[in-house]
A and B are shown apart, each in its own frame.
Chain A
Amino acid sequence: MKAGLRITLDKIFTVVAGASVVCLCLVLVGVLGPMLWRGGSAVVFKGTVEFRRMQLTLFSRGNEDKIAAEVKQAEIARAKVYSEIEKFKAGIDAQTLTEKARQIYRQFGNDLRQVNTSAGEVTELRSVTRQIRDRLESAFASSNAAEVNESLAYVLSFKNDSRFKNTSAAGLIELAEQYRNAIHGVNLAERQRYYQEIRQVEDILVELLGPAPGAQTPALMMNRFGATRWDLAQKLLGRLLWYEEWTKQGPEQPMVRRLTPRSQRFAGTEIEGLFTYIQQNLPEMLKPKTTIYWQYFIDDSTPGHYFGGVGPEILGTLLLTLLAMLFVVPFGVISAAYLVECASDNLAIRLIRMSINTLAGVPSIVFGLFGLAFFVLFFLPIFGAPSKGCILAASMTLAVLTLPVMIRSSEEAIRAVPHAYKEASLALGASRFRTFVKVTLPAALPGILTGVILSLSRVAGETAPVLFTGAVALGPVPKSIFDPTRTLSYGSYDMAVGDKLAAMVPHNQFGMVVTLVLLILCLNTAAIVLRSKVFKKLAGH
């Protein structure tokens, strides 16, 4: 081969090898970047007045008077929206209007009985009002503008009739007047469509601004507040301003989404301009403000993680990991000490080493099965504890899982202690046990600590072993170690796949997993820093 070609190939190889490492870094950024970015918005975001109201109601947080004042201001801006929709609905909802007319008619009939009038007059009045009512009803039901106008004109001709002055029947005429104003500019043939779409608008408004004034408090906590976050509000505003339709392009073809501006759907009516008003005044109605919601890490959450934070999950994860460490550290360190200090290369030691390697290779889900079969179904009942998943069983399963990690890292740390330390101690007459406890162990301690932190981070992220042994997606904060607990790892799984409600709050989905990742990254960074320090110290710098 020519020398030039060989050198070029060599250079290409160098570049490709470098590219693989760059690719690694890119993968790391690609995986962590979107998650951190979106998860960060669970803590730092633009909170609306609804968010502050929610915080006050659920967690009694914030200044009550200030929030009340803010709510009042927002309500002033919102009032126009509600009143216009109410007015518009008055002309659209034929059923309610008919009901109203009938009620007034009945009321009038009752009133007539109380008043002292002759029987003939009563009959006449009744027949006239019945006629008015019927004409009104036909006006409400009809979609022909001429017919409606004719009926209304008939009804309104009684406006100055002295017989109806100051009686309940005047309500019918008032109704007719309202209706005439309301249907001004409305295409009557499309009234049904208007009715359905205004209901849609109202539903979106409930999500955006919270329950309408006067409506009763919804049973579900998630429906009691409007959009708590500005990004959520923007999304809802989009749904409010644009009408979404799925149309078929033809047989055998996928449905296509088509968006039309909502104001166009209501073109010519009174509320056509309302949508621009909402768009322009939304900041007034919701008062967004940059919020740092650090309490995300301590708050409990409402079902489906709709509101609130990940406090119980963090608590559960810490409980599980610390308890697991409590079990595994003594065993791990002693095993490592034995393997380094006392063990000769015989059959038993080889068996132990093989076991450790096997244990390290067992898939995590098999640890889950083992935890279920051994700790939950066999071990706990022996001590009279209820045979169900609990913190104790889960943490013991995790302890078994992390035992090989712990042994290997401690062994490495103990081996790294220079021989000179030990020999000096032995030369002074200290026994081997004393030497180990007083000299080797203190020197190896930072290294062992590094191992502990690394196992801690491994344990905190494990999901499969705790699936059947003590993790739940929903549930109260555990009271004892015999209760199951929520954990960050299982919560992340559940919010991504299991919980349909969580899909409505992506910031909380990402927030959960980012909390887990950050916890683990912090632990790992601590371990890396600690190790580099130990390395420098033992190297004699």
Chain B
Amino acid sequence: MLESSTIKAKQGTLKDTLVPAADSYRPLVLTPTEDIKGFLTLHLGRSLLFAITCTSVLAVFLIFLFVIREALPFLAKFSISEFLTSTEWYPEATNPKFGTFAILAGSGYVTIVSIIFAVPVGILAAVFLSDIVSMKIRNIIKPIIEILAAIPSVAYGFFAVMVFAPWMQQKFGFSTGTNALNASLVLGVMALPTIISVSEDSISAIGRELREASYSCGATRMETIFKVVIPAAHSGIIAAIVLGMMRAIGETMVVWMASGNAAQIPHPWWDLSQSVRTLTATIAGDMGETEKGSPHYRALFAAGLLLLVITLCLNLISEYFLIRAKRAGGKH
């Protein structure tokens, strides 16, 4: 304070004779008002930014709140165990039945089969990109994977139903081209980019030292990858698989268009050429025809809640493995 007042005094005396530079009026120490103002703007601004950042929390909260709100009357009225275990889904009958077991099984079918197709290809491609090819080729292949990821799901669905289904029907003599196999294969392609990019990240994160140690022991590249790199990166690869599963189970358009939409469990169980129906396709297909507030409408929200819970669990699992993968990568 003392300093600032002396400066001011000096400026006062010099005022008539000298025109000071613009900045020299500024005191070097803040006055109390300026100090309070600065404090307030900083903290108010921060809390405003924080509030805006909380939108995503709010969004998650609202999603759960409103889906549960619409589903609650159904959950209160019908038995949840029947909802989960019965295979009878007759929502529009006079005595409606809401058993989602067959539909859940359909979701499970397409998800698992698509992952079985996608995982070997995805991990091999990830290894190829991280350990085998040069940076140059990698930079060419990466955009291809990105484009594969960018193609909208409805376009994949269109391909499945307009190109792939007739081809399959003709080639293999299936009774229908829109079946579990068709949906699974296309879903597998859609899950590939996720699997490749996440597992490639975790494989690349494994340091050079591990690889070099392995090579110096005389291991070939294949042995290094299978016995050193992949075990070291396993957390990230598991996370990649879980994320791929999430993508497949939450996908709507492809399964709605290509799975045939028959609420049944294939019989015999390995026969993939039969039609199935998934949770997502049920919601998408039935919602347009239901009356707002009817039991059917509520049941669809309950199905949505089920889907939300499943993906949330998968999300937590993937999060857990991703954090582990980060730690594993960080060590080296």
Judged by DSSP, the binding face of B is helix
**B125 at interface by CB-CB < 8 Å:** yes
Q: Tell me whether B308 and A363 are in contact (CB under 8 A).
A: yes
Interface residues of B in 116-142 (CB under 8 A from A): 120-122, 124-125, 127-129, 132, 141
| With known contacts A403-B56, A462-B152, A20–B287 Cβ distance under 8 A | no
Q: Tell me whether A27 and B63 are in contact (CB under 8 A).
A: no
0/1 string, A501-512, CB within 8 A of B gives 1: 000001001100
Q: Tell me whether A528 and B143 are in contact (CB under 8 A).
A: yes
B: contact size bracket = 35 or more
**A342 at interface by CB-CB < 8 Å:** yes
**B11 at interface by CB-CB < 8 Å:** no
Q: Which of B132, B152, B159, B283 has the most CB of A within 10 A?
A: B152
0/1 string, A6-48, CB within 8 A of B gives 1: 1101100110111011011101100110110000000000000
**B155 at interface by CB-CB < 8 Å:** yes
B220 interface neighbour in A10, A337, A343, Cβ under 8 Å: A10
Q: Which residues of chain A are near B328, meaning CB under 8 Å?
A: none
| With known contacts A342-B46, A369-B301, A400–B280 Cβ distance under 8 A | no
**A524 at interface by CB-CB < 8 Å:** yes
Q: Tell me whether B54 and A352 are in contact (CB under 8 A).
A: yes
Q: Which residues of chain A are near B154, meaning CB under 8 Å?
A: 461, 463, 489-490, 492-493, 513, 516
**A220 at interface by CB-CB < 8 Å:** no
B144 interface neighbour in A25, A359, A462, Cβ under 8 Å: A25
CB of B274, distance to nearest CB on chain A (Å):
19
**B90 at interface by CB-CB < 8 Å:** no
Q: Tell me whether B152 and A520 are in contact (CB under 8 A).
A: yes
Q: Tell me whether A35 and B223 are in contact (CB under 8 A).
A: no
**B230 at interface by CB-CB < 8 Å:** no
Q: Which residues of chain A are near B163, meaning CB under 8 Å?
A: 34-35
**A421 at interface by CB-CB < 8 Å:** no
State the CA gap A540–B252 with chains docked (Å): 44
Interface residues of A in 292-326 (CB under 8 A from B): none
| With known contacts A10-B222, A373-B70, A516–B56 Cβ distance under 8 A | no
Q: Tell me whether B57 and A355 are in contact (CB under 8 A).
A: yes
State the CA gap A433–B189 with chains docked (Å): 45
A493 interface neighbour in B132, B157, B292, Cβ under 8 Å: B157
A31 interface neighbour in B45, B189, B223, Cβ under 8 Å: B189
| With known contacts A31-B151, A359-B56, A509-B162, A20–B301 Cβ distance under 8 A | no
Q: Which residues of chain B are near A115, meaning CB under 8 Å?
A: none
Interface residues of A in 326-350 (CB under 8 A from B): 330-331, 334-335, 337-339, 342-343, 348
Q: Which residue of B lies closest to A354 (CB)?
A: B319
State the CA gap A517–B156 with chains docked (Å): 10
Q: Which residue of B lies closest to A387 (CB)?
A: B292
**A243 at interface by CB-CB < 8 Å:** no
Q: Which residues of chain A are near B192, meaning CB under 8 Å?
A: 24
| With known contacts A356-B56, A362-B311, A404-B56, A517–B301 Cβ distance under 8 A | no
Q: Which residues of chain A are near B318, meaning CB under 8 Å?
A: 361
**B49 at interface by CB-CB < 8 Å:** yes
B146 interface neighbour in A21, A378, A524, Cβ under 8 Å: A524
CB of B135, distance to nearest CB on chain A (Å):
13
**A521 at interface by CB-CB < 8 Å:** yes
| With known contacts A17-B132, A20-B125, A374-B62, A361–B220 Cβ distance under 8 A | no
**B147 at interface by CB-CB < 8 Å:** yes
**A97 at interface by CB-CB < 8 Å:** no
0/1 string, A67-91, CB within 8 A of B gives 1: 0000000000000000000000000
State the CA gap A337–B53 with chains docked (Å): 9
**B204 at interface by CB-CB < 8 Å:** no
Interface residues of A in 242-280 (CB under 8 A from B): none
Q: Tell me whether A364 and B152 are in contact (CB under 8 A).
A: no
Q: Tell me whether A361 and B311 are in contact (CB under 8 A).
A: yes
**B150 at interface by CB-CB < 8 Å:** yes
Q: Tell me whether A10 and B59 are in contact (CB under 8 A).
A: no
Q: Tell me whether A331 and B287 are in contact (CB under 8 A).
A: no
Q: Which residues of chain A are near B157, meaning CB under 8 Å?
A: 493, 496
CB of B279, distance to nearest CB on chain A (Å):
8
Q: Tell me whether A496 and B257 are in contact (CB under 8 A).
A: yes
State the CA gap A31–B304 with chains docked (Å): 30
Q: Which residues of chain B are near A18, meaning CB under 8 Å?
A: 128, 132
**Between-chain CB contacts (< 8 Å), 24 pairs:** A6-B222, A14-B132, A24-B148, A31-B159, A342-B50, A361-B246, A361-B314, A361-B315, A362-B60, A362-B250, A362-B308, A363-B311, A374-B62, A374-B66, A463-B154, A467-B288, A468-B287, A490-B154, A492-B154, A496-B157, A496-B161, A516-B155, A520-B150, A520-B151
